[in-house]
Each structure stands twice: as structure tokens, then as C-alpha cells.
Amino acid sequence: MEQPQEPTLCGMDKAQIDLSPQGIDVIIQSWLGAAPEPAVGAESLVELVRCVESEHALLLMPLRLILVTANLAAAVNCWNRALGLPETGVSQQPEGVVAAKNMSWGTSKESARSIIILPDYMAAGIALDAPAATATLVHELGHVHDDFARGLTKGFRPYQTPPQLNDWPGLCAYVAEEITWSEYAAESIAAGYWTSEQLACFERNDGAHLAGVHTRLRQSICSFLQRQLDFPSLWSGSVTNLSDLFANLGRAAAHLRFAEDEGEALGRLVPPDSEAVCWRPVIERLVSELRTLREKDYSEWGPAPFNKLAEVVVIGFEAAGFFPTGTGNNLRVRVR
């Protein structure tokens, strides 16, 4: 039986992108190993990019490719391999899945590169001016801008991968900057492209997401205390769940400024009778810290802009019932 052909990178591999001049190339990927199809709808994608870039003064110089594919997870894994990263695909939770993906790399202003991987149905939606599809691409453009702006301000680093599970300070710093802030910054640009009805739907889903993750975390702690789950499994799964939760809370915080009454919106996110009500002070402080950062230009942040946000990550873990101390071989995690 003939083996399936390895998916290609549509004629543009990492080396070609690293050498490419500034300018966006849009490629439609068939993902069957066949030659790329003509870039139908490419004009609408590039037009949207240019419009958003101008309207929001975004720094999109690193963007070289928008890859439109019928298989987002496979395309992401293909690029993970190209960048020497684990093949993690895209995040999937009971409350939702990733709709598109930005990938950025480079260690200097000159070598910085970004690509956006977009499902084909999203590209079709953009051609039809569908708000959800438009907002999805704008969100990824927000990531390109934020990654580049942070690199210019803080110094470019190799592609950021999650730290080891026993690196507690590193985990807090990573969740604060690369997950929570990153999602908030990108969605702060995209939020204005959602309709009021879609924002109201997000508000309802954000509450369900918070309650669902909190419930799963409490159940995993209960299983651990009853010796039905070992600690490595408990800790690994909980870090993943809390990382996803903080990502969603970053996006939810960006939506709050569109609420008619922010206090009421927070109340709907964490109702008084919710099992996750202990998250209310965490979210209030999270919103405050995120806004403090966004109200300043990147160049005004100072030497350690995410330290306070990392403190919020700590109290979030505590709200879920995890109390880590130490790091490396000395990491100890008390649960309750």
C-alpha cells in the first residue's frame, strides 16, 4: 500500500521565508501533497492586512506568509517541525478550539519573521466580509505586532517554548507574558471587529469556560487525594488547563471595555453562586494589571513589566487549589 505523501510547505519553507524581502505572500494549501492552488481570495486577505495595519499603526514588517489550509493542526505541526518545536498541534478544550495560528521567530529586528496559518473556511469568510473571520485574522495580526514590538523593547529571543514543569518561576513568567498578555494584546485589537451579539456570546462562553476548567481542576485534585491520580499527571494536566484558562481570561479582559456595564459583565463572568467565585478577585486584579500595561507604550514599560502579572498567575493557581514552592528538584506543590 502506498504511503501518504508528507505535506509540503507550499513551496515556501523556513529558509526561503528567512531570505524573503518584506511583503506578504498568500498561498492556498491543498494539503494532499499536490501543487498549491491559485490564491483565490488572496486579494481580500492582503487588503484586510493593509487596512488593519494602517488603522491601528501595527508593526507587521516581519509578516511574510498567510498560509490557507484545509487542515490547521497538520499545517501547524508541519511548521513546528520546521522550527524545531514539539508537534503540539493546536489547543482543543471542551469549550472551544484554536481557530488560526501565528508563528513568529528571529533574534533581531532584521531576522524577525512571522507567518499566519488560516483555515480555508476563515479565508472564505473574509472574502465574504464575515465579522468572525475578519476578527480572527485581525487577532493573529495583533500577535504579529505584539511579538515584534516586545522584541524591539525587551530584546529578541529564540522562539519561546514553555519551561519545564518543575520551573515554577519560569512557568509563572511564561503564562503571564507569552499566554495572558499575548492573548490580551492581540484580542484588544480584534475585539472591535466582533459584533455586539458575538461579544455577548463570548461573555456567556467565558463564564462557562472558567467554571468548566475550575471544576476539572477540583476533580483532578480530588482524584489525586484519593490516590486515583499520580502527582506528575495531576501537575502536568493542571498546568495545561490553567494555561488555557489564563489565555481565555486575557481575551475576556479585552472584551470588557465593550460592555455597557463592566461591573455587571464581571458579575456574569463569575456569578456569586458559581463554584469558581474564588476567581473574582484574581480576574479583577488581572484586568487591572493588563490595562496598566496597555495604557503605556511598549518603550515605557520598564525592565520587568510582567512581574505583577506573574503574581496574578500565582494567585490564580492558588484559587484552583495549588500552592507551589521552590523550583527544579526542590519544587513542592501543596494542594487543597
294-334 pLDDT, tens digit each: 999 999 999 999 999 999 999 999 999 999 999 999 999 99
DSSP classification of residue 164: P
In this predicted model, what pLDDT tens digit does every residue of 185-198 receive, in sequence order? 999 999 999 999 99
Specify the pairing of strand 25-29 against strand 63-69: parallel
Report the predicted TM-score, pTM, of the whole model to 2 decimal places.
0.92
In this predicted model, what pLDDT tens digit does every residue of 207-250 receive, in sequence order? 999 999 999 999 999 999 999 999 999 999 999 999 999 999 99
Q: Which residue type, as a one-letter code, is found at position 117?
A: I
How many Cβ atoms from other residues are within 10 Å of residue 144's Cβ? 26
In this predicted model, what pLDDT tens digit does every residue of 28-77 receive, in sequence order? 765 444 434 444 578 899 999 999 999 999 999 999 999 998 888 888 98
91 has a pLDDT exceeding 80: no
8 has a pLDDT exceeding 70: no
258 has a pLDDT exceeding 80: yes
Q: Tell me the mean pLDDT in the region 14-28.
A: 89
pLDDT of residue 86: 82
Mean pLDDT of the chain: 89
H/E stretch holding 113: strand 113-119
Angle, CA 108 vertex, CA 103 and CA 113 arms, to 5°: 30
